[in-house]
Structure 1
Amino acid sequence: MIELLKDGTYLRYWLAVVASFLGDAITKITLIYVVATHTDRPVLFVSLVVIAQLLPSGVLGAFVGPLADRFPARGLLVGSDLARVALALAMIAVRDSAWLLILLTVLSGVGKAFFETARITAIPKIVGGHSIPTAVALFQSTNHTINLVGPALGGLLLAFGNVTAIFVLDAATFAASAILLGSMAVLREVPAPGAAGNREPYWRALRTGVRGVLQVPSLRFLAVFLVPVMLVLGLFTTNLNTQLLNVFDLGALPYGFAHALFGGGAILGALVGPGLVRRYSDRWLLVASILLFGLALVLLAPAGALYDRIGLGAVLAWCLLAGLGSGLFQVPVAHTLLRDLPEELRGRGVGLANALMVNFTVLGVLAGGLLAGAIGTAESIIASGAVLLVAGAALAVPRRPAAARGSGDPAADSSGSKVPS
């Protein structure tokens, strides 16, 4: 990973992503604080802010893909950053109107949908001769770190600063990202004029892109894999805080430690991912990670019993294991996507994957509250872990291609790879 950061091109990309994502994290906590303290219906408006941040990527993700296959990544990345500069500054003027803040949040989410599709699509060009799994791991570990640091920094700024200054800082992070990305010559490359996505009308390019992506066996498997994982991840995200604060009844400091251990586990999962990708096939690493995450959630039952006997250590260990499972699967997912997507379909494939992940995460968030209300918070987490174990076991069954049927080779899976020994 150090070698990647010594690469000037990748370093600028990494710093731009850090700035942009830090701005997102600070804005999220600030918007939640503003609508929670300036309205008479805080629960409703906090929920609307969260949905407004996620929904554009889910709704628009697949539709941005054809544009990422037609236009230089530089224009999409810099344009989305500059748009979010204007939107962050506009939030200052409407900070007393929750509905206008939510509208601007939706528009900012649209900008992020364009940014994320173009950013991921450009990774193979930015990484160059370096290892894609290592680049993915560095990004994922950075992202998990920002998810820990960003809200804490936002809370600190709210305590010692003012909301206007925070929105100005947010705009500055997007401006910094735009300057760094705009200076990268590799992002100015125009997709080959003979590519199918450039010759076809937009809607036909969208349809052929979806068909082309799903014709790749490993990507079909990835699509099936993501459905149960993202549903459970959304449910878990909804219920984790309730579990820690209301069921385990943790105080402020233990609650902070628990979240830190969860984030540390996610970072650890991202860091060990590249070594495992080099040693095992992506299919089997994906299955192993879904089984690990499911097992971690099921282990909430004994962790709760141990908490009553030995105290906080049992909860912290459970958070670390759950974080490891949630962070590990992201490396083989991204590696499979970037390795197996044909270059001419990369934008459409990334957009489709983003839409799939976000939409099922949102469904999981909605289901999490309903299920927790019906059977209890801990019980809903344990049940979702059991579902993942069943799904992982089903996905672990080798699927032999038609040419291999009758060959007597039980170790061939759907991608033609062997089960690692």
Structure 2
Amino acid sequence: MTGEAGGGERPSFRAVFAVPEFRPLFGTYTLSTIGDELARVALTVLVYQRTDSPLLAAVTFGLSFLPWVVGGPVLATIADRFPRHRVLIVSDVVRAVLVALMALPGLPLWALLALLLTVSLCAPPFESARSALMADVLDGERYAVASSLTNTSSQLAQVIGFVGAGALVGLLGPSAVLLLDAATFAVSAVWLSAGLQRRPAPAASSDEPASVWRETAEGLRLIRGIPRLTAIIALLWPGVLFTNVAEGIAAPLTDDLGGAALQLGVLLAANPLGQTVGGLVVARFLGTERAGRMVPGLVVASLVPVLLAGLVALVAGPGRAAFVTVVVLLFVGGLGCSWLIPLNVAFVQAVPAAFRGRAFGVAVSGLYGVQGLGALGAGLAAERVPPAAVVAVAGGLGLVAVLPGLLGLVRTRPGVAGRHRAAGPSVS
């Protein structure tokens, strides 16, 4: 392990970047996230332009989350069964090739979506291996700062990807944007190959190889058996579901507000930009303990602006003033979403090292799953009612849905999380 056990002065960003293996893990994650958002916006715009259907646009946006729903915990066990550096590199090579195929001119829409789904199958093992390796190379408060940094960079990468996609799709076309995404995966594979140590598979020390299904069940039992983890999941999944509904119907919502492709990118970037700013404050100044006490207030602050944004868009209708107000409200909601950082650290502190990949797979499968299902549900609802009404209802329902998780989090605060060092994966 590299790092410090926790306690004492909070490490600086420079101290975290001084750990050699953190740099490729951080850099490639940021690079790939930018490329993913470029591709997601390009495909969403393409489908909406061809079909004029909010549902099909939402299906396209949410399709990349589907593998987490149907097989995320199973696919995530790959991170515990094979060398984690190899899982990362192979996943990136496969995605580079498949995304390059998506850029072929004249490819039918069904083929594009099939390739997108296949690319998305690489995400669960990649994300599980990356997060588990983060805990291998960092510990204690360095891990907490690194986790906050990664979360913040992810949001910033989404901002760059969304805004850049809005401009590049109009300037270069969807195929060129997809080729840029393929290039990010290729660069990532080379960087990871050069920067990571070669470690054996975590499961190699076991006398008897466990089945994938048994390992998956163990991850589920772990979550269910520790009250602290159960409370975290009960807050994480509905909180993320309702704060991200606007993303799934961003194209028709922007259209109703009188915007075009560039405005779509700005609207999509508003929440991640807020999370970037909020995450930097949490990572560098508040500390995990103080931020943890602020979670209930931050959760409310992440959902109320969603409710207000939907109401403003519904009442005001098309126009620049309404669009700017909605963007500002989504940005404020993103500031509130910094609750994800202390929640992530609490999850990390409660997970035994041997279950990193499996526990992460369960948590993030649900996390991505609710985002995908939320996008599909929002798209289906927007076929019948205005997209703005869908956003407003999501904000209101979210405030009710997070209450059980918040109560559970408060009840378990002095429990399991305080008795383990930070040695697990990121769930953000």
Instruction: State the TM-score bracket (shorter-chain normalisation).
Output: 0.7 to 0.9
> What is the CA RMSD across the aligned residues, in angstroms?
3.5
Task: Determine the structure 2 residue equivalent to 1:404.
Answer: none
- The separation in 2 between residues aligned to 1:289 and 1:415, in whole angstroms, is 16
- The separation in 2 between residues aligned to 1:16 and 1:398, in whole angstroms, is 35
Task: Determine the structure 1 residue equivalent to 2:224.
Answer: 214
Q: 1:150 to 1:203 in 2, by over 3 A?
A: same
Task: Determine the structure 2 residue equivalent to 1:17.
Answer: 29
* Contact 1:126/1:186, CA 8 A, preserved across alignment: no
Q: How far did 1:178 drift?
A: 0.7
**Higher RCO (CA < 8 A, seq sep 6+):** 2
Matched, 1:390 2:416: no
- The separation in 1 between residues aligned to 2:31 and 2:387, in whole angstroms, is 35
TM-score (ref. length: structure 2):
0.80
* Contact 1:94/1:101, CA 8 A, preserved across alignment: no
**Match among 282, 289, 309 for residue 279 of structure 1:** 289
**Structure 2 residue identity aligned to 1:20:** S
SS in 2 for 1:329: helix
Q: 1:41 to 1:390 in 2, by over 3 A?
A: closer
Matched, 1:266 2:275: yes
Query: Structure 1: which 5+ residue stretches go unaligned?
Result: 400-411
Task: Determine the structure 2 residue equivalent to 1:347.
Answer: 357
Q: How far did 1:364 drift?
A: 1.8
Matched residue count: 401
Trace 1:44-193 onto structure 2 (pairs within 5 A). Answer: 46-93=57-104, 95-128=106-139, 131-161=142-172, 165-186=176-197, 188-191=199-202, 193=204
Q: 1:112 to 1:208 in 2, by over 3 A?
A: closer
- The separation in 1 between residues aligned to 2:274 and 2:185, in whole angstroms, is 29
* Contact 2:159/2:273, CA 8 A, preserved across alignment: no
Trace 1:296-375 onto structure 2 (pairs within 5 A). Answer: 296-300=305-309, 311=321, 314-325=325-336, 327-372=337-382
* Contact 2:81/2:201, CA 8 A, preserved across alignment: yes
Q: 1:374 to 1:200 in 2, by over 3 A?
A: same
Q: How far did 1:365 drift?
A: 1.9
- The separation in 2 between residues aligned to 1:152 and 1:195, in whole angstroms, is 47
**Structure 2 residue identity aligned to 1:328:** S
* Contact 1:58/1:358, CA 8 A, preserved across alignment: yes
Q: 1:137 to 1:372 in 2, by over 3 A?
A: same
Q: How far did 1:41 drift?
A: 7.0
Q: 1:26 to 1:316 in 2, by over 3 A?
A: closer
Trace 1:214-233 onto structure 2 (pairs within 5 A). Answer: 214-233=224-243
* Contact 1:303/1:318, CA 8 A, preserved across alignment: no
Task: Determine the structure 1 residue equivalent to 2:419.
Answer: none
Q: How far did 1:335 drift?
A: 1.6
Q: How far did 1:83 drift?
A: 0.6
* Contact 2:149/2:279, CA 8 A, preserved across alignment: yes
* Contact 1:45/1:98, CA 8 A, preserved across alignment: no
SS in 2 for 1:188: coil
- The separation in 2 between residues aligned to 1:280 and 1:286, in whole angstroms, is 9
Q: 1:20 to 1:213 in 2, by over 3 A?
A: same
Post-superposition CA distance 1:241-263 (Å, at most 9, x none): 555552x5568887766555444
**Structure 2 residue identity aligned to 1:414:** T
Q: How far did 1:346 drift?
A: 0.8
- The separation in 1 between residues aligned to 2:174 and 2:259, in whole angstroms, is 29
Task: Determine the structure 1 residue equivalent to 2:5.
Answer: none
Q: How far did 1:220 drift?
A: 0.7
Task: Determine the structure 2 residue equivalent to 1:29.
Answer: 41
Q: 1:258 to 1:351 in 2, by over 3 A?
A: closer
**Structure 1 residue identity aligned to 2:369:** N
**Structure 2 residue identity aligned to 1:28:** R
Q: 1:374 to 1:166 in 2, by over 3 A?
A: closer
**Structure 1 residue identity aligned to 2:38:** I
**Match among 8, 11, 14 for residue 20 of structure 2:** 8
* Contact 1:195/1:344, CA 8 A, preserved across alignment: no
* Contact 2:72/2:362, CA 8 A, preserved across alignment: yes
Post-superposition CA distance 1:214-239 (Å, at most 9, x none): 21221111121123213313433335
Q: How far did 1:33 drift?
A: 4.7
* Contact 1:231/1:360, CA 8 A, preserved across alignment: yes
Q: 4+ residue stretches of structure 1 with deviation over 6 A?
A: 251-256, 304-308
**Structure 2 residue identity aligned to 1:26:** L
Q: How far did 1:74 drift?
A: 0.8
TM-score (ref. length: structure 1):
0.81
Q: 1:332 to 1:31 in 2, by over 3 A?
A: same
Q: How far did 1:140 drift?
A: 1.9
**Structure 2 residue identity aligned to 1:85:** A
